[in-house]
Structure 1
Amino acid sequence: MTPAPRRIVGIADTDSYVKWAAALLGGLSGETDAELLVLETPVVVSPAQLRSAVAGSGLERVARVEYDELASRLAALRPDVVLIAARGPLVRVLARLVAGLVPRPVIVSGLPGISIPATRKALVYRTQCDLFVLHSRREVREFAALARERGMPQRFALTRLPFAQESPEDRLTRPTSADVESRGDAIEPTGTDLVFAAQAIVPREREDRLRVARLLVRAAEADPSGRVVLKVRGRTGEHQTHVEHDALPDLIASLGPLPPNLVTSTAPMSKALDSAHGLVTVSSTAAVEAIARGIPVIALDTFGVTPRLINLVFEDSGLFGSEEDVVARRFRHPSASWLRDNYFHEPADDDLPLLLADLVARRREGRLAPKPPLARAGGRFRDAWERKLVLGPHDHTPSGFAAMAIGMPLRGVVRMGQRVRRWVIGPTPAQQTAT
């Protein structure tokens, strides 16, 4: 008998996670029935962001859902796999809910872009997931090492970034730094735009973001024949995965009369890259999208190379460049060795389909091992508190309201006690070494 089609349901809320989930689900081939549920939270995508995020993904079934109806919706769909595509605190809340379904689906989570350096929090929040999806050999290596070091068993799956896939022809023609040295300008893209991929929290400080704004004005003035396109993730008032302060469009507007070739775009990144001569960013995953299409990149190193800037991954890539390089449009292609270890491994190295198939088979045979949540103090009160924090007004449960009413004053008391402790006896060793 032919086995029943594998059914996968994704749950996501913010722009970057919706984009990642839609592309991942849309790209799964074979006997797969995929659907995406967009969960209503305080930072959920707007209708415009949702359209942009799913554009070109190939995913046809997308619906919005409130938390109150999520459990019954999943029970009716009876998925083999639930992909939880969300920020860590929400993953923990949703994994707890999904784990309570009978029979329990395979629970999968992951990170939607550049995930170097590996972090303990990413592991902690995904303790109850059966599979953790990553996108480069380096990411899998570093997360696996961290999990062993922390004694946190986890199974990792490798797959190419779903929105940075290449055809066999693309892989053969994608240029590297060595190609540039031997072939020169013949491999440069035909587009004319300098595209800057903005990030909500990189750089973080207002003065640094103002410096980026001034740089984009300078780049536009230096070459009036080519556009400088500030690519942002949303319009004013729309939420992003990370809370943004000092939005670049506002800072640019504050600089006075602007060159007409400096424009802002909220189109999908794939659309922005259609007319790109090169892409500039500090550490956006858009750099990987550009490289996949043979478009050169500058990873701006003006603010340093640190974990906080999420740009350690570009070390030894050959992509770092200065503000003067941006103004002069001296874009770069990455080294071949960097490509193999970072997001451009061979397709045969992808093991996500095999690992998913194995877990689904185990589930259908009743052999799927339980994945208990991380043991923590507080019990159900703690669960309700965490749920209310991530869902806000979209959590209508009495336990959520009670946890908030009791928990907020308690948290204030605890934080005051911590401040008094630091003032009286100084920081603890853990606080001294925290970064």
Structure 2
Amino acid sequence: MSPRTTPGGRPRVVAIADTDSYVKWAAALLGGVETRWDASLLVLDTPLVVSDAQLASALRGSGLGQDRVERIAYPGLAARLAELRADAVVIGARGPLVRVLARDIAALEPRPVVVTGLPGISIPATRKAVVYRLQSDLFVVHSRREVREFGALSARTGYAHRYALATLPFARGAVTAGGGPPGTGGGDLVFATQAKVPAEREDRLRVARVLVRAAEADPSRRVVVKLRAASGEHQTHVEVDSYPELLASLGPLPPNLVTSTGSMGGALDTAEGLVTVSSTAAIEAIARGIPVIALDTFGVSPRLINETLADADLLGSEDDVVARRFRHPDPEWLDENYFHAPDADDWTIHVEALLAQRSAGRLPARAPVARRGGALRDAWERKVALGRSDTSASGALAYAVGVPLRSVLRLTKRTRRSLAGAVQQPGPVGSSTQVRSTSAVRTSTTRTP
């Protein structure tokens, strides 16, 4: 099999992405290597697809031109990949959609090399992230620590993956790594919002109140709440309790407390420091020499995705936020966490090795994780991942069968858990079972912020 390259001899690499963070990641990842490969981006229509404004923001500064990008509906995707003669496909999407698209691409002949990855901080490494991406030939992560931890996870679970290292696009040329412009010394406190962290409404309200306090503490300087999307736009993760709504519920706000839907880069242009719980925006700020506070109100845990920021000594309290006591990361943290030397990046080397295997007819097949259900299960997963964008009859049938079946299965699981809990109820007061239960409650209460 000979490689299907462009007339200039360059491999043709096509990215597929849909949501804001993944479009930004895919565009910047390929924009950095466009001279080596013939790179383009297909923006897939899904229920969470980027708006035109989000797409323009993602492309700005990515290195990938607007003429290299097109929107496409799912029913035409396979034909378009065949028409483009893609040698490699980079899938930038949430795990369930990666699983569907990788399965579709595996059916193409000849099959392109499949590359996937995650667009930001990916510690802790999770089993789901690996399982969803099993049919990918290469899994791109962004720090030495992530390579190590995902590799260890694969060794423990037996889900073999080939991992590669790429610098996060917005950390390239970082001032902390010896290059790039320093922070501008602006006066804004920029808060990077997240859709899922913290998750509870009361916790998010608490953050909103801290931002109000910070604005009231110094009326001469702004507090900028950097939103991920404008009203009506979608995000990679669904946001239930948005900060504009939460702030509005607190009554009249200080005039120096503002919201912004512009780019994070634009917000950092006038930033004195950045506040977040665990947003990858912290890495973007560090790259520009801008200090950070990772809010410690809710503790440190895998659920909060803030362990790596804690290791960087960036944790700060609510009072630190109000007083603007920002901090820079521990220098010893940098090399293992997103600020390795550029020559440590090896993802393009891995891709080209896989392309050589493909050219020689030796690219091994990648099987998905084994599961029950056959074609109906495939159709169900496709419908769930694509929603209205899947117009197939099989998807409609699978959804009609699957929704009530899923409800029954969930009810059965809840019933089993309830019965198991009833069997394990503590005995009479004073028994050893009761003592253990009380101790566990105390421990839990102690650890809850």
Cα distance in 1 between the residues matched to 2:422 and 2:84: 50
List aligned pairs for 1:406-421, cutoff 5 A: 406-421=401-416
The CA deviation at 1:31 is: 2.3
Q: Which amino acid in 1 is paired with 2:414? A: R
Q: Which amino acid in 2 is paired with 1:112? A: P
Q: Which residue of 2 aligns with 1:115?
A: 122
Q: Which residue of 2 aligns with 1:88?
A: 95
Alignment RMSD: 1.9
| 1:133-157 residue CA offsets vs partner (Å, 9 max, x unmatched) | 0000000100000000001110000
Q: Which amino acid in 1 is paired with 2:63? A: G
Asked if 1:55 corresponds to 2:60, the answer is yes
Q: Which of residues 24, 31, 35 in structure 1 aligns to 2:36?
A: 31
List aligned pairs for 1:274-285, cutoff 5 A: 274-285=269-280
Asked if 1:172 corresponds to 2:175, the answer is no
The CA deviation at 1:426 is: 3.9
| 1:402-422 residue CA offsets vs partner (Å, 9 max, x unmatched) | 101111111111112212222
The CA deviation at 1:428 is: 12
Asked if 1:100 corresponds to 2:135, the answer is no
Q: Which amino acid in 2 is paired with 1:260? A: P
Cα distance in 2 between the residues matched to 1:324 and 1:318: 16
Cα distance in 2 between the residues matched to 1:342 and 1:325: 24
Gaps of 5+ in 2: 425-449
* 3-state SS in 1 of match to 2:335: helix
| Higher Rg | 2
Asked if 1:238 corresponds to 2:247, the answer is no
Asked if 1:302 corresponds to 2:324, the answer is no
Q: What is the total number of aligned residue pairs between the two structures?
A: 417
Q: Which residue of 2 aligns with 1:129?
A: 136
Identity of aligned residues (%): 64
| 1:166-190 residue CA offsets vs partner (Å, 9 max, x unmatched) | 16x7632689xxxxxxxxxxx8742
Q: Which amino acid in 2 is paired with 1:8? A: V
The CA deviation at 1:337 is: 1.0
Q: Which amino acid in 1 is paired with 2:124? A: P
| 1:232-274 residue CA offsets vs partner (Å, 9 max, x unmatched) | 1101222111111110111111211111111111111111111
Cα distance in 2 between the residues matched to 1:353 and 1:192: 39
Q: Which of residues 382, 391, 402 in structure 1 aligns to 2:386?
A: 391
Q: Which of residues 338, 352, 357 in structure 1 aligns to 2:352?
A: 357
Cα distance in 2 between the residues matched to 1:190 and 1:117: 33
* 3-state SS in 2 of match to 1:37: strand
Cα distance in 1 between the residues matched to 2:360 and 2:354: 10
Q: Answer whether contact 1:13 1:41 (CA < 8 A) is retained.
A: yes
Cα distance in 2 between the residues matched to 1:427 and 1:6: 61
State TM-score, norm by structure 1: 0.92
* 3-state SS in 2 of match to 1:112: coil
Q: Which amino acid in 1 is paired with 2:232? A: G
Q: Which residue of 1 aligns with 2:446?
A: none
Cα distance in 2 between the residues matched to 1:428 and 1:134: 44
Q: Answer whether contact 1:20 1:163 (CA < 8 A) is retained.
A: no
Query: Which portions of structure 1, spanning 4 or more consecutive aligned residues, are displaced by more than 6 angstroms?
Result: none
Structure-2 change in CA distance of 1:35 and 1:427 (3 Å): farther
Q: Which residue of 1 aligns with 2:441?
A: none
Q: Answer whether contact 1:133 1:156 (CA < 8 A) is retained.
A: yes
List aligned pairs for 1:315-326, cutoff 5 A: 315-326=310-321
Q: Which residue of 1 aligns with 2:420?
A: 425
Asked if 1:7 corresponds to 2:12, the answer is yes
Cα distance in 1 between the residues matched to 2:223 and 2:215: 6
Q: Which residue of 2 aligns with 1:213?
A: 208
Q: Which residue of 2 aligns with 1:154?
A: 161
| 1:329-384 residue CA offsets vs partner (Å, 9 max, x unmatched) | 11101011111110001112111111111111111221111111111111111000
Structure-2 change in CA distance of 1:190 and 1:428 (3 Å): farther
* 3-state SS in 1 of match to 2:116: strand
Q: Answer whether contact 1:421 1:427 (CA < 8 A) is retained.
A: no
Cα distance in 1 between the residues matched to 2:232 and 2:423: 40
Q: Answer whether contact 1:55 1:268 (CA < 8 A) is retained.
A: no
Q: Answer whether contact 1:387 1:400 (CA < 8 A) is retained.
A: yes
* 3-state SS in 2 of match to 1:138: helix
State TM-score, norm by structure 2: 0.90
List aligned pairs for 1:262-273, cutoff 5 A: 262-273=257-268
Q: Which of residues 15, 23, 26 in structure 2 aligns to 1:21?
A: 26
